[in-house]
Amino acid sequence: MSVDHYENFPVASWLCPQALRPAVRAIYAYARTADDLADEGDAPAAQRLADLADYEADLLAAAAGHAPSPRWRAVFDPLGTIITCHALPLSPFTDLLSAFRQDVVQHRYADRTELLDYCRRSAHPVGRLMLHLYGVADGDALARSDAICAALQLANFWQDLSVDRRRGRLYVPLADAQRFGVAPGELLAGSDSARVRALVAELVGWTRELMHAGAPLVHRIPGRAGWELRLVVQGGLRILERIEQAGFDVLQQRPALGWLDAPPLAARALAMRPAARAVREEHA
């Protein structure tokens, strides 16, 4: 998966169409910088929220063709141009900021519905902006994109349980934890048990189902961009596989992908085929 600092975001790799690379870079820089404001350093919550408010003001200024403040000119000068050139909608950009503000103040999620609402604002916007760049906008494509992006976000949560718990953050839905008899304090303390592993196994299964639900979208995206999406999907599935191979023990270790994963990812991307029914309907 061609991601760097902002998790699960397809940075403009060599598979991305060259004409779209400036747009993807500008969107990536926007998301990465906002994520840093919400999550990096030692600033208190009030300062982070104030910075995000200023950041949103610069977004609205740039989108309206006005000069942003000097603080983030490197982000908003190119982004303003990209928004205008590609007629990008503003709601995905503001949704991302809503999710980042939530990250500052909320560190627990009651159930899957609440967690998916967070994903709707933290993950779905990225996929929807990419679809807009590719000129794909029908309801089925948007729904499948949302499923892929939510699955990537969730996979990152389970992958990062050992990291997030040390920061006092818990993305495991409390209702799921309760069903398995796991107290939030156990997760935050890194207490491994058969109950915890069974909980993580169920969350991984749920995430895998979401990814498979969205995967047919790869056949709708043209050219090299479609191949990049195949690798993104397979990268997410590979992370889930790594978690499973670790026995679902992710409270003390962080499963990750390396160069040795590249060949199987490429093979699996090549092997992705449209469902037989879809092929028959296409040629009917």
| Distance of alpha carbon 221 from alpha carbon 168, whole angstroms | 39
164-191 burial by CB neighbour count: b if 16+ within 10 A, else e?
A: bbeeebbbbbbebbeebebeeebbbeee
* Any domain includes 2: no
Same domain, 112 and 248: yes
* Any domain includes 82: yes
Beta carbons within 10 angstroms of residue 8's beta carbon: 23
Same domain, 225 and 192: yes
* Any domain includes 4: no
Give the distance from CA 49 to its chain's centroid: 21
Domain boundary among 61, 88, 105: 105
Q: Is the pTM of this model over 0.95?
A: no
Same domain, 197 and 79: no
Q: Are 119 and 153 in contact (CB under 8 A)?
A: yes
* Any domain includes 120: yes
128-145 burial by CB neighbour count: b if 16+ within 10 A, else e?
A: bbbbbbbebeeeebbebb
Number of domains forming the structure of the chain? 2
Same domain, 232 and 127: yes
Structural domain for 44, as ranges: 15-105
| Distance of alpha carbon 159 from alpha carbon 249, whole angstroms | 10
Same domain, 137 and 38: no
Give the CATH number for residue 230: 1.10.600.10
* Any domain includes 6: no
Q: Tell me how far CA of residue 251 lies from CA of 157, 162, 199, in angstroms.
A: 11, 4, 12
* Element housing 143 (H / E): helix 139-159
Q: Are 120 and 95 in contact (CB under 8 A)?
A: yes
Same domain, 22 and 44: yes
Domain boundary among 57, 73, 105: 105
Give the distance from CA 194 to its chain's centroid: 29
Q: How high is the pLDDT of residue 13? A: 57
What single-letter amino acid sits at 64?
A
Give the distance from CA 283 to its chain's centroid: 34
pLDDT tens for the chain, residues 1 to 284: 233 444 444 444 556 778 888 999 999 999 999 999 998 878 999 999 999 999 999 999 999 999 999 999 999 999 999 999 999 999 999 999 999 999 999 999 999 999 999 999 999 999 999 999 999 989 999 999 999 999 999 999 999 999 999 999 999 999 999 999 999 999 999 999 999 999 999 999 999 999 999 999 999 988 888 888 999 999 999 999 999 999 999 999 999 888 888 899 899 999 998 864 443 433 33
Same domain, 161 and 88: no
* Any domain includes 90: yes
* Any domain includes 10: no
Same domain, 68 and 166: no
Same domain, 189 and 86: no
* Any domain includes 8: no
* Element housing 117 (H / E): helix 112-122
The single-letter DSSP state of residue 216 is G
Same domain, 62 and 186: no
Same domain, 249 and 204: yes
Domain boundary among 105, 136, 166: 105
Same domain, 97 and 116: no
